[in-house]
Structure 1
Amino acid sequence: MEFSYLFSPIKVRHMELRNRIVMTAMHLGYTPQGEVTDRLVDFYELRAKGGVALIIVGGCPIDEYGGMAGMIDLSEDKFIPGLKRLTTSVQAHGAKIAAQLYQAGRYAFSAMIGGRKPFSASAVRSRLTGETPRALELHEIPAVQDKFAEAAVRAKKAGFDAVEILGSAGYLICQFLSPLTNKRDDEYGGPLENRMRFGIEVVEKVRAAVGPDYPILFRIAGNDFMEGGHTNREARIFAAELEKVGVDLFNVTGGWHETRVPQLTMFVPRRGFVYLAEGIKSAVGVPVLASNRINDPEIGEEIIRNGEADMVTMARALIADPELPNKAKNGKAHLIYHCVACNQGCFDNIFQLKPAGCLVNPRAGREGELPIRPAEKRKKVLVIGGGPAGMKAACTAAERGHTVILAERTNQLGGQIPLNRHIPGRQEMLLIAKDLENNLKALGVRIMLNQEAGADLVKEISPDAVIIATGAGPIVPDIPGIDRDNVVQAWDVLAGKKAVGKRVVIVGGNAVGLETALYLASIGTLSPEVLHFLITNNGESMDFIRERLNRGCKYVTVVEMTGKAGQDIGLSTR
């Protein structure tokens, strides 16, 4: 497939981009002291080599009051030399780079800002931090806005091609904009016109500081997804006003950190929030960037061709595969390793203050430590086990030039991955096995299915090296009754090998138990086709439809002995 729209150039003010793919800002945890590190440079340089048009880094704290541990710091001039090294390394490969200006407001943790009390538009408690910020005094507001402008000047001096102002996800600008967090009775509170004032003045000050030709991007929430908060209607009004004072591109996302609506998990459909970008696009005349759950070039091509947005973001997608743009452009889209939105390596690590990694890409964040170089001596390698670890090991060995044989005792590759097929919201995981298999075949790896790998096979193949990747299996507890016919393993149920009755008790309330419960509870619920039919034709009441969307034909009880379920599930999904 040709991606003529996705790989057409575009201009943002005077910044020319080689295509329509953008890597948006993500906190990575690679800068523990705020200074640029080799790890950060290696990470972004590889993505620039991979063909992305624009990389936005950050968030970058603009002052000492609104950041968190491990962020790329823009609050002082001392950080400029390191940032210059980062911008130079990215630009050397034809990509542009922008810095995201970050002020968390009530989302800042006092423990991470030297014990200082976070500030906000009003003293409204944050469910994210559990803390109540202090309300900014009227006379303090200009100084906070000035910090955005000062950080923008530093970014320009450091060689960044643009800056992005963070006005989404419930951070400081959102806190002034939303009636949920803005209870002020001065010129910054009350009607929408007043609540927009803080963000508009920030843009005005940044524009005055960086000059008329420097691109300013704005990360905007197309919908707060907070009861009583802003919808796309208010976002369109805000965007139109921001364009008037100098914004050159809108990067559209949705939701706050406190929202109950999933934003980033695999339960969110692909391109699920593109409609928010389309709404903003209808209100402005500058380019609009669609975000969230866009992990494939075909989706990006469709969005741009349809006129829903001008560009697309692929942040986690580029963590999973830095070469995604080049592969798509060069007719190798089938070899892309897709992000599956599991969040286990990226967001779940960050929430624990650990550096970001990736379940799909074990080299993510370790590019300098784990380079893939041609082998000095080519060998014959036998990999035993066709799960994701064995498949990835086989791919890596083959990429280095070795002759690789992969032996798998079952009739399919992927290990436990295929068990996700029937779990609601987990089908995206199947891409892991599919992508690895596509690459195995392209690399010429010999695949042996239904093959037990014993001593005879090793003697027959006579490899120079053997990699054992046989994976794990379920633990069967030694308890009375475990061998009865009505006791079955979750794996057998998920694989369709064992059936269960109407009333089911699942012992174990962590990931496997809960996913099995979701699968069983979904049996008999309304399919998307039936749902669409009933709504279109007013066939049933909405109360009935809601009930049957969430309740099937089985009664499922989960028993967890520790008293807390889901302890092995990451915070982003739990």
Structure 2
Amino acid sequence: MQPQAKNREQPFPHLFQSGRLRNLALKNRLIMAPMESNLAADDGSVSDLMREYYRARAFGGVGMIIVEYTCVDRPLGLGGNPQLGLDDDALIVSHGELVRAVHAAGSRICVQLFHAGRQTHPKFTNGQQPIAASPIPCPMYRKMPREMTAADMDRVLQKFREAAERAAKAGYDAVEIHGAHGYLPANFLSAASNKRMDEFGGSLENRQRFPLLIAAAVRQGARDLPVIFRLSADEFVAGGTRIDEAMDTARRLEAVGVDAIHVSTGCHERIDRNVDPVWMPEGWRLPLARQIREVVRIPVIGVGVIRHPQVAEQAIAEGSADFIALGRALLADPEWPNKAAAGRTADIRPCTSCNWCVAQIGTGHTPVGCAENPRTGRETQPQPVFVGSHERAVVVGAGPGGIAAALTLDRAGYSVLLMERQAALAPGLLASAAAPKKDKFLWYREYLAHKLRHSSVELELSNATGAEDIAKHSPALVVLATGSRDRVLDGVDGLELPLVKSAYAVLAGNDSVRHGPVVIYGAGEVGCEAAKFAAAKGFEVILATRSSDANALSRSTSLRIYREQFIETIKAYPNIRIELGVTLRSVSPDAVHMERDGQPITWPAGQLLLAVGRVPNDDLSAGLQAAGIPTLVVGDAVDVRRIGDAVHDAYWQIRDMTRRVNPQGAPIESVDFL
């Protein structure tokens, strides 16, 4: 994070000047981007939890919220479940309640109108075959859609117009058409997915025809409300929408009455270009927004990996965008706008693009969450309470989970001692950040160090404590956040030799790679990251795995589409060689000896890095429990998972404990301490 601003004047004057969309005045240039949340009620209405989720972001100071994808034609147009709808008058009531809640919290509110087109699954559409520009399956869902007829188009246009009318009746301040990311309007725009032979396919002008009709229908239904069109400036697929086509489309959208262009990128098969992974640089889409802005007179909204106010300020100041949309940044910290306005940049909890949030909705099919913010998507859950006893609490392990526990206990009124056996704070975050283009994890580490410095937590590094030493502090509570350790590899001779090292220890900075070639045994996430780390230092690398399936590399990566892109980043290194189907048998001073299909293989090696998995490190709990000391075990010490699991585990266990200890305690309503 950048240093905290010291002057009392507005540190980001462009970002916090007022702006206009058509006749709508916004208090600043910050907009909450629409993001799937899985918080809608089963009937498509706004649930109480969803209302509180958006209200928290409104209180955080954003100028306008764009409510997530809202279906205009259920079930055929659904892209997920649960999902908001505006295809029935009965849904107006709950949307109106959301509008009033957001207005009362100080923000304007827009709703995004949505039709999935081919990017859906029959399990969402109640068994109906999806509709599309052409009968070409979405590469993610792989279900054959049927080509839309003229009657289909008329019906969809009517659905969009009626949904816009309902949005106006509900009190929304603006409407947005989701014309990006491969959904129905984008499906027609893209030559990769639109192969029609009629007036709606072929030339760019023909492919624009149906999306422009949608825009005109929404313009009619929205009355005098601003209409925004979200547009993929580049789909990053062969034959797909390119920036030159998007620029022409933006001009034509303006001509039919669209009031702003929201510039995004990608589609389902390139989700890494619309829900960016950690290796995508901050603000990388802004040059595309600038190109769109150069050809239209209406405002342009820029979006995509904008994490720091300095980046947002510069984008507006230099003319890349008129407004900045924040997505995952507001999942991590709803107070991002207020903190930026006050110059408290060091206090902004930084999104690292770890996409723990995406894993929750994409594979877990659970409410959206944030690795760093346990209350995102859980705003209605009871809070921890103030205990105020000033009793001693000892937390062992200063990773994200341990720090979360320590900070929560500190705010609850305990006297907290945080002990870490390593010399560095959060060594696991150092490991996560070690490979090329993963420095965003250092943002989070710096943020946690900042929060500790401004707390009452006592921190002791290089303290490899035991249960007896902990007991000397007479703690009322011990939290074990001792993380994980390397799995022991049995039955292999030579592992004691100097060339054998832990891949994880190298990534964490506790060991180093000095000699090549480097052989890495184990191709999970740690092994793959170690391969990139060593290759970037110029070593020749062999990445060896027992699996015979190349697609099994980094199998623990949560989402398949990210794993595919992750593997491509490995294959892009000319000095990484992947060896499948091999088993390590022994190690000699300058070689490793493998076996494949019963045949011996020997490779010269200057270094062997072992990455054969991690197991929970819970050596202290038995001794503490035997001493009668109340003990909580959190994070990887329970089960080796991700950063978000450790943070959430710590926060919610401490929450439950404080409510047991002091049932009448005052709630700790904010997580700004965390």
CA distance, structure 2, for counterparts of residue 487 and residue 283 of structure 1: 58
CA distance, structure 2, for counterparts of residue 244 and residue 304 of structure 1: 24
Letter in 2 for 1:504: V
CA distance, structure 2, for counterparts of residue 337 and residue 562 of structure 1: 41
Aligned Cα root-mean-square deviation (Å):
2.0
CA distance, structure 2, for counterparts of residue 566 and residue 160 of structure 1: 44
Q: CA deviation at 1:376?
A: 5.9
* Among 540, 546, 556, the residue aligned to 1:568: 556
Bigger mean CA offset, 419-428 vs 105-114: 419-428
User: Does the CA contact (< 8 Å) of 2:68 and 2:112 recur in 1?
Assistant: yes
User: Does the CA contact (< 8 Å) of 2:58 and 2:106 recur in 1?
Assistant: yes
Does residue 17 in structure 1 map to residue 26 in structure 2? Answer: yes
Q: CA deviation at 1:374?
A: 4.2
Match for residue 265 of structure 2?
254
* Among 422, 428, 433, the residue aligned to 1:410: 422
Q: CA deviation at 1:75?
A: 2.1
* Among 242, 248, 271, the residue aligned to 1:237: 248
User: Does the CA contact (< 8 Å) of 2:267 and 2:273 recur in 1?
Assistant: no
CA distance, structure 2, for counterparts of residue 352 and residue 374 of structure 1: 32
Match for residue 423 of structure 1?
435
Percent same amino acid at aligned positions?
34
Bigger mean CA offset, 501-510 vs 295-304: 501-510
Letter in 2 for 1:221: S
In structure 2, relative to structure 1, the CA distance for the partners of 1:197 and 1:344 (3 Å cut) is same
Q: How is 1:108-507 mapped onto 2 (pairs within 5 angstroms)? A: 108-211=120-223, 213-259=224-270, 262-263=273-274, 264-347=276-359, 349-371=361-383, 374-375=386-387, 377=389, 379-454=391-466, 458=470, 461-481=473-493, 482-494=495-507, 495=509, 497-499=511-513, 501-507=515-521
Q: CA deviation at 1:119?
A: 0.6
Deviations 1:316-373 (A, max 9, x none): 0010111111111122110111000010233454244232211111221112214355
In structure 2, relative to structure 1, the CA distance for the partners of 1:371 and 1:522 (3 Å cut) is same
User: Does the CA contact (< 8 Å) of 1:517 and 1:558 recur in 2?
Assistant: no
Q: CA deviation at 1:452?
A: 3.5
Deviations 1:120-141 (A, max 9, x none): 1111222121122111112321
Bigger mean CA offset, 473-482 vs 381-390: 473-482
CA distance, structure 2, for counterparts of residue 182 and residue 459 of structure 1: 69
CA distance, structure 2, for counterparts of residue 560 and residue 522 of structure 1: 24
CA distance, structure 2, for counterparts of residue 140 and residue 459 of structure 1: 72
User: Does the CA contact (< 8 Å) of 1:28 and 1:350 recur in 2?
Assistant: no
CA distance, structure 2, for counterparts of residue 474 and residue 349 of structure 1: 30
Does residue 36 in structure 1 map to residue 13 in structure 2? Answer: no
CA distance, structure 2, for counterparts of residue 16 and residue 560 of structure 1: 60
CA distance, structure 2, for counterparts of residue 247 and residue 377 of structure 1: 59
CA distance, structure 2, for counterparts of residue 304 and residue 444 of structure 1: 39
User: Does the CA contact (< 8 Å) of 1:514 and 1:558 recur in 2?
Assistant: no
User: Does the CA contact (< 8 Å) of 2:188 and 2:208 recur in 1?
Assistant: yes
CA distance, structure 1, for counterparts of residue 52 and residue 97 of structure 2: 11
Give the TM-score normalised by the residue count of structure 1: 0.90
Match for residue 27 of structure 1?
36
In structure 2, relative to structure 1, the CA distance for the partners of 1:235 and 1:492 (3 Å cut) is same
User: Does the CA contact (< 8 Å) of 2:528 and 2:543 recur in 1?
Assistant: no
Letter in 2 for 1:218: F
Structure 1 unaligned regions, length at least 5? 525-552
CA distance, structure 2, for counterparts of residue 562 and residue 402 of structure 1: 52
Does the residue aligned with 2:451 lie in a helix, a strand or coil?
helix
In structure 2, relative to structure 1, the CA distance for the partners of 1:342 and 1:479 (3 Å cut) is same
Does the residue aligned with 1:290 lie in a helix, a strand or coil?
strand
Letter in 1 for 2:64: L
Does the residue aligned with 1:313 lie in a helix, a strand or coil?
strand
In structure 2, relative to structure 1, the CA distance for the partners of 1:513 and 1:261 (3 Å cut) is same
Letter in 1 for 2:239: G
Match for residue 516 of structure 1?
530
User: Does the CA contact (< 8 Å) of 2:522 and 2:543 recur in 1?
Assistant: no
Match for residue 530 of structure 1?
none
Q: CA deviation at 1:57?
A: 1.5
In structure 2, relative to structure 1, the CA distance for the partners of 1:452 and 1:489 (3 Å cut) is closer
User: Does the CA contact (< 8 Å) of 2:513 and 2:534 recur in 1?
Assistant: no
CA distance, structure 1, for counterparts of residue 412 and residue 301 of structure 2: 37
Does residue 62 in structure 1 map to residue 50 in structure 2? Answer: no
Letter in 2 for 1:39: L
Match for residue 558 of structure 1?
544
Deviations 1:500-537 (A, max 9, x none): 5433332222111111112122222xxxxxxxxxxxxx
Structure 2 unaligned regions, length at least 5? 6-10, 564-674
Does residue 90 in structure 1 map to residue 78 in structure 2? Answer: no
Match for residue 112 of structure 2?
100
